[in-house]
């Protein structure tokens, strides 16, 4: 069995679903079910004996230790995190509590469990920490893409909390010998993405006839990674990654945000035209930029390809088409995640920018 933390969120849920499509090895999913943790993401696993769900916090050491003892996983994959930059600007304490304190407590619980394993099982055990390219800071237009040797220079409360968690994972390797792996990914997109992030927000707002908010000039550049490619990379790192190594996972798809906006609009024009015949791009609205908005991220994913033979299967064109189609095909899921709390957040974040 493997233990996945945060497995009801966007990336975690996609990972759990893909894992159980690929293998019969059971999954224990520990998720606190905050606003972005959605049990409906995993509804298809109801009644599946390979899947066990426990609602709980990675910072609850007594619970985590009990689960480790009861289920004896061979690996722990830590997806659990607060992950939205804008939310971290409004409320940084939640990010410190989950991403820093929670990761530290999880590491302590896992270390205690690992040290009690028989020698052969201890050698095979892995702790895989899922992180982000945002820990590296911001690049100029001419800078080389981030490699695993870039120093960490986080610029938002979110990225600072993730950088801190990355340091903790490294420290538990060097101080205690815990066999850890770390992945730093670029911007994920795809099915089950909570609609506060750019691509799902664009789709949801466009279909509802609402403005499509673009921060600043829209020329911020990101590398885009289809979520199922990210999941396949994590599986590969877990299977063959070298203990203590960091692996950058990217899609080789650097694009400015405004290009993403126009691509989504064009796909919706094709797949779900507006009833009035107008183009969706007429809904684009430029709003006040995010404070301290990093200008460019870019991932060099050469190491994971050279050493582990992994590269993304999807191009951006194929991945974004699949993503838009998924949202069009799943209106009930979209409606269910747009709770009162979600509407209040959108009001808080975007009304003041308009």
**Distance in angstroms (rounded) separating the CA atoms of residues 163 and 153:** 8
Model confidence at 345: pLDDT above 50: no
Of the pLDDT bands very low, low, confident and very high (cuts 50, 70, 90), residue 350 is very low
Q: What was the pLDDT predicted at 275? A: 96
Model confidence at 219: pLDDT above 70: yes
Structural domains of the chain sorted by starting position, each given as residue range(s) with its CATH number in brackets: 2-188+227-251+297-312 (3.40.50.720)
Start-to-end Cα distance in the chain: 48
Which segments of 272-315 does DSSP mark as H helices, in order? 302-308
Model confidence at 343: pLDDT above 80: no
**Distance in angstroms (rounded) separating the CA atoms of residues 93 and 99:** 10
CA atoms lying within 13 Å on the CB side of residue 197: 20
347 or 207, higher pLDDT: 207
Least confident stretch, 29-38, 63-72, 207-216, 320-329: 29-38
Of the pLDDT bands very low, low, confident and very high (cuts 50, 70, 90), residue 291 is confident
Provide the annotated active-site residues: 133-134, 158
Q: Name, in order, each residue with C-beta under 8 angstroms of 243's C-beta and a sequence gap of 6 or more.
A: 126, 173, 179, 180, 181
68-82: average pLDDT: 96
Model confidence at 36: pLDDT above 80: no
Q: What was the pLDDT predicted at 308? A: 98
Of the pLDDT bands very low, low, confident and very high (cuts 50, 70, 90), residue 349 is low
pTM for this entry: 0.93
- 76, 144, 217, 284 from 354: Cα distances, Å: 43, 34, 13, 12
């Amino acid at each position: 069995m493997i233990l996945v933390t945060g497995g009801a969120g966007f990336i975690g849920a996609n990972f759990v679903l893909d894992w159980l499509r690929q293998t019969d090895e059971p999954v224990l999913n520990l998720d606190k079910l905050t606003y972005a943790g959605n049990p409906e993401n995993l509804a298809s696993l109801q009644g599946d004996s390979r899947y066990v769900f426990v609602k709980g916090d990675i910072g609850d050491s007594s619970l985590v230790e009990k689960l480790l003892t009861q289920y004896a996983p061979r690996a722990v994959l830590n997806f659990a995190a607060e992950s939205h930059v804008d939310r971290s600007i409004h409320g940084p304490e939640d990010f410190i509590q989950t991403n820093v304190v929670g990761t530290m407590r999880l590491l302590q619980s896992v270390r205690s469990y690992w040290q009690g394993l028989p020698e052969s099982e201890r050698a095979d055990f892995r702790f895989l920490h899922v992180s982000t390219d945002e820990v590296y800071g911001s690049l100029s237009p001419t800078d080389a893409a981030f490699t695993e040797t870039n120093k960490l220079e986080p610029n938002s409360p979110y990225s600072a909390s993730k950088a801190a968690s990355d340091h903790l994972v490294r420290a538990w390797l060097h101080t205690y010998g815990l066999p850890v792996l770390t992945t730093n990914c670029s911007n994920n997109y795809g099915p089950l993405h909570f609609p506060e992030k750019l691509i799902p927000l664009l789709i949801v707002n466009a279909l509802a006839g609402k403005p499509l908010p673009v921060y600043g000039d829209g020329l911020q550049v990101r590398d885009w990674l289809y979520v199922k490619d990210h999941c396949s990379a994590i599986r590969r790192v877990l299977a063959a990654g070298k203990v203590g190594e960091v692996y950058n996972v990217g899609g080789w798809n650097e694009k400015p945000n405004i290009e993403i906006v126009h691509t989504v609009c064009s796909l919706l024009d094709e797949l779900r035209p507006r009833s009035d015949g107008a183009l969706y791009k007429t809904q684009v609205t430029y709003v006040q930029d995010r404070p301290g908005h990093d200008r460019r991220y870019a991932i060099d994913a050469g190491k994971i390809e050279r050493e582990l033979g992994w590269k993304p299967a999807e191009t951006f064109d194929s991945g974004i088409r699949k993503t838009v189609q998924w949202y069009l095909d799943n209106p009930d899921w979209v409606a269910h995640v747009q709770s009162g709390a979600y509407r209040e957040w959108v009001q808080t974040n975007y009304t003041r920018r308009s």
